[in-house]
Structure 1
């Protein structure tokens, strides 16, 4: 039987190497210190490459559909694994809207388009997923250094950042902007902890 407890879903999205996973790890660690059951999802990009499916600026309709469906399934599975407790928390490292931002950026980077039915099908899949209780979107700071080993395309990285925030505004999705500044990161963590602790005490 599905537990009749409060489920809090916190997601993060944004372009690569902007602190998404680090933020989620910090929130997870703090929640565990409060004895709040939590599960964190992630590694979608690496897993897509093992399928293998194209990624980054090479994303296709199929790779985007796989990212969306797998990410949503991961979140559902994470919630199911949590114990019956006053509050359960799922941390989605790459919220579902993230896949669409990466896809839109890839199309612009390549100067391509896809048929409207494909675009609408991907949008419906993202829209059908339950809204996040709290959604963070990181902000790219192009002046912060990135390890050379990653080999990121700077233009594509900037396009993902652009489409992330444009998409969320278009969809009227409430979200919290998180910069690379330590104070911004700390405020984001506090925001998540306050939400979860309030639910746990309630």
Structure 2
């Protein structure tokens, strides 16, 4: 592998298979003998730190999530992982923030949004692959989660609108098993190709 780890990130609204996708990629990549680190659980950790989440996101909670995600990625790379799998790319936090503001019928402060976007954008050059999951409302959600359906749709909309508006290269992953299998294959082949460089 190169001196820098290969970074594969995912973003998308909740319960659309992000963590499952990364677990599948991790299992396959480890099977080829590569060392893998996986980041995640930023929302839970933010809540544990006393910050609001989901439809209650604020500028402060969004900044914390982006900054903590950057720290997690940097730590994983420093530990010598050859592949870093990022559960919630930095722009995911922006999409959640925008969805929360829309949910509350509030207007995001322009300068704060621009600052958060600039912070998230520092990570884009580091991502070798970026996957964006697509909401399929027909797929049932685990009943142990008390999700607001409208907010979930708002996040999905903001994720894909943000990717389009900022012209961020990414690959869409739907709930279709073939789409997910293709994403895993793309990730594995990318890792193997980089290993030979």
- Classify the TM-score, shorter chain: over 0.9
Contact 2:9 2:89 in 1 (8 A): yes
Total equivalences in the alignment: 196
Select which of 35, 38, 42 maps to 2:36: 38
Report how far residue 4 of structure 1 moved: 6.2
The residue number in structure 1 matching 2:105 is: 111
The residue number in structure 2 matching 1:65 is: 63
| 1:1-202 pair list within 5 angstroms | 5-82=3-80, 88-131=82-125, 132-202=127-197
1: CA distance, partners of 2:167 / 2:7: 18
Q: Could you state the TM-score of these two structures normalised by the residue count of structure 2?
A: 0.96
Q: Could you state the TM-score of these two structures normalised by the residue count of structure 1?
A: 0.94
- Moved segments of 4+, more than 2 Å: none
Q: For structure 2, list consecutive stretches of 5 or more residues without a partner in the other structure.
A: none
Spell out, residue by residue over 1:42-89, the C-alpha distance to the aligned partner (whole angstroms, 9 max, x if none).
Answer: 010110110010000000000000000000110011111125xxxx11
Q: For structure 1, list consecutive stretches of 5 or more residues without a partner in the other structure.
A: none
Report how far residue 25 of structure 1 moved: 0.6
Spell out, residue by residue over 1:6-35, the C-alpha distance to the aligned partner (whole angstroms, 9 max, x if none).
Answer: 421110000000000000011011111101
1: CA distance, partners of 2:31 / 2:122: 33
Contact 1:100 1:122 in 2 (8 A): yes
1: CA distance, partners of 2:118 / 2:188: 31
2: CA distance, partners of 1:33 / 1:56: 35
Contact 1:6 1:199 in 2 (8 A): no
Contact 2:2 2:195 in 1 (8 A): no
1: CA distance, partners of 2:176 / 2:143: 21
Report how far residue 117 of structure 1 moved: 1.8
